[in-house]
Structure 1
Amino acid sequence: MTLRARPYRSVLYIPGSRDRALEKAKELPADAIIFDLEDAVAVEEKVNARALLAERLAEGGYGNRALIVRINGMDTPWGAEDLAAMMEIGPEAILLPKVGSAADVAAVAAMLDAHPRTAGTQIWAMMESPVGILNAAEIARAPRMAGFVMGTNDLAKDLGCRTRGAMHMALQHCLLAARAAGIVCVDGVYNAFRDEEGLARECAEGRDFGFDGKTLIHPAQIAIANAAFAPSEAEIELARRQIAAYEEAVARGEGVAVVDGQIVENLHVDTARATLAKAGAIAGQEAA
């Protein structure tokens, strides 16, 4: 599947240092997995986690899920070796933390270009700093760039804000940049993993904004995210009726149709077809 064609409803972080979690991830219904070598791994475990993750990824068994590896920053003692180890595996994507400019991405892209096993490896960016947010448009068009992950915890810390609402402009700004460049954009995590109602509300807001899905910190959050970012049966049925009504109108030589008392033009049909395409991609993902 192409980047936007495959679903990214649920994007689960898995610590690269936890072998049991790496094994369990093979059975979880998440659309994508971020194997984390950065924040989720203690300093004293960084080297061991890198070796363990490389071994598990080489073994495979993760099915049709998107596999993304978050390495440590290239300005840390571990980043360069993380990247070197993962280039031997050639995962679908490398996730770079704390991206501040397109130059950060281009430097890693050049390394991927020079390696024979990473021809198809994309780059994703953690959007989690004020400078990164301000440079979102140029980052979205950097070489090999394929996805944004909102790092709302780090962003809240840097902004000194206390609410998600205070970050709305930053979230929307990154989403605009991602859509202009045609790349994936997934929402930040919801920290209270036992609060199902709160997660559902935040997922609903994220979907209303236009995000492709949500990053998650616990497997218990997967089902809620999958449901929130998938078209409902009512939305699928409406999309089909809109397409049929519009095609009938065009056959009569008319440029618009009416469904449920609302005008349906070609732009609405584009949205309807996108809804059906997403539903089909989700069905294919779940079947696989």
Structure 2
Amino acid sequence: MAATARPRRSVLYMPGSNTRALEKGRSLPADGLILDLEDAVAPDAKAEARATIKASIAAGGYGGRELVVRTNGLNTPWGYDDLVMAASSGADAVLLPKVESPDMVRQAEAVLRANGSPDGQTIWCMMETPLGMLNTKEIAGASPKLGGLVMGTSDLAKDLHAAHTRDRLPMLTSLGLCLLAARAYGLAILDGVHLDLNDDAGFGESCVQGRELGFDGKTLIHPKTIAACNAAFAPSEEEVAQAHRIIQAHAEAVAQGKGVVLVDGRLVENLHVENARRLVAMAEAIDALSS
């Protein structure tokens, strides 16, 4: 399923067992919410969290925010029931943990479809293990219902025995493999979380790096990071203004029978116009979501 201009600058994890948090999510400026049944929920609270998430989505009030349910894996006692609930929950997407093969995607898809998952409900995959990295291409092409990849950099760093450095050099190979696969198959892709909530500078650097690498946005663990994340991943006013200049100048050049034109001293051709249109569409989508 091809990626759209839907904003995904900030996507906040929320524990599915916390009713107050789910209520607060209705007023937060995040582009999306991941309603979590996996890591954030204790084993004896899984069933209750499942019911809480379904009731919260049914109650509405989340506006244009993208709602994603993260399930437990099918190899756990809770994964099947999670998928059954998610299929009819009204969630925009279902996030599968620790995806390592295309078969894991297809098995989950079969359960979702058998339980009434609508065509518009997509599957997202957590990419967080070495085997998942090695199979990224096959996972990204596993199903037309696939909508996005989400980096699970904490688990990945653990399995790689890698350090969480500010430049994330130990994980660049993995990040790059997932970005390549996402773009090749037209999927959205979200960067992993930044764990140190007292490290504002480091968080800002990770947002800038994530956008420079090509991520659509970042997953978050606390509401206080939403505003900075939104600012980092949104096109700036200057970028949008330049994009409009590029589109207009190129259109005028084409009308004169020219294929290229100079804008602000730089050579512009069709590939730059495509990117300019993408930026303008995203800016318009962000404005619509904000309103």
TM-score category of the 2 structures, normalised to the smaller one: over 0.9
Q: Which of residues 203, 210, 216 in structure 2 aligns to 1:212? A: 216
- Determine whether 1:53 maps to 2:53: yes
Tell me, in whole angstroms, the C-alpha distance in 1 between the residues paired with 2:170 and 2:42.
30
Q: Is 2:3–2:186's contact at 8 Å kept on the other side of the alignment? A: no
Shift of 1:113: 1.9
Task: Map 1:15-54; keep pairs closer than 5 Å.
Answer: 15-54=15-54
- Determine whether 1:166 maps to 2:170: yes
Q: Which of residues 246, 257, 273 in structure 2 aligns to 1:242? A: 246
Corresponding residue SS for 1:258: strand
Task: Map 1:178-257; keep pairs closer than 5 Å.
Answer: 178-257=182-261
Please tell me the residue identity of whatever aligns with 1:37.
Answer: L
- The residue number in structure 2 matching 1:282 is 286
| TM-score, structure 2 normalization | 0.95
- The residue number in structure 1 matching 2:147 is 146
Please tell me the residue identity of whatever aligns with 2:250.
Answer: Y
- The residue number in structure 2 matching 1:80 is 80
Shift of 1:117: 4.6
> Which 5+ residue runs of structure 1 have no aligned equivalent?
none
- The residue number in structure 2 matching 1:10 is 10
Q: Is 1:139–1:145's contact at 8 Å kept on the other side of the alignment? A: no
Corresponding residue SS for 1:263: strand
Report the CA distance shift for 1:3/1:254 in structure 2 as closer, same or farther (over 3 A). closer
Tell me, in whole angstroms, the C-alpha distance in 1 between the residues paired with 2:116 and 2:84.
12
Tell me, in whole angstroms, the C-alpha distance in 2 between the residues paired with 1:194 and 1:184.
29
- Determine whether 1:69 maps to 2:79: no
Tell me, in whole angstroms, the C-alpha distance in 2 between the residues paired with 1:130 and 1:117.
30
Q: Is 1:112–1:121's contact at 8 Å kept on the other side of the alignment? A: no
- The residue number in structure 2 matching 1:157 is 158
- The residue number in structure 2 matching 1:131 is 131
Q: Is 2:83–2:112's contact at 8 Å kept on the other side of the alignment? A: no
Tell me, in whole angstroms, the C-alpha distance in 2 between the residues paired with 1:260 and 1:119.
44
Tell me, in whole angstroms, the C-alpha distance in 1 between the residues paired with 2:118 and 2:271.
38
Tell me, in whole angstroms, the C-alpha distance in 2 between the residues paired with 1:79 and 1:37.
9
Please tell me the residue identity of whatever aligns with 1:181.
Answer: Y
- The residue number in structure 1 matching 2:263 is 259
| Identity fraction in percent | 53
Report the CA distance shift for 1:117/1:124 in structure 2 as closer, same or farther (over 3 A). closer
Could you say what the CA RMSD is over the residues aligned between the two structures, in angstroms?
1.3
Moved >6 Å (runs of 4+): none
> Which 5+ residue runs of structure 2 have no aligned equivalent?
none
Tell me, in whole angstroms, the C-alpha distance in 1 between the residues paired with 2:118 and 2:246.
42
Please tell me the residue identity of whatever aligns with 1:166.
Answer: P
Corresponding residue SS for 1:100: coil
Deviations 1:178-234 (A, max 9, x none): 000001000000111232221111100000000000000000010011001100011
Please tell me the residue identity of whatever aligns with 2:283.
Answer: A
| TM-score, structure 1 normalization | 0.96
Deviations 1:67-126 (A, max 9, x none): 000011110111111112222314211100000001000011112222235333211000
Please tell me the residue identity of whatever aligns with 2:245.
Answer: R
Tell me, in whole angstroms, the C-alpha distance in 2 between the residues paired with 1:233 and 1:24.
30
Shift of 1:21: 0.3
Q: Is 1:12–1:30's contact at 8 Å kept on the other side of the alignment? A: yes
Tell me, in whole angstroms, the C-alpha distance in 2 between the residues paired with 1:118 and 1:263.
45
Question: How many residue pairs get matched?
Answer: 286
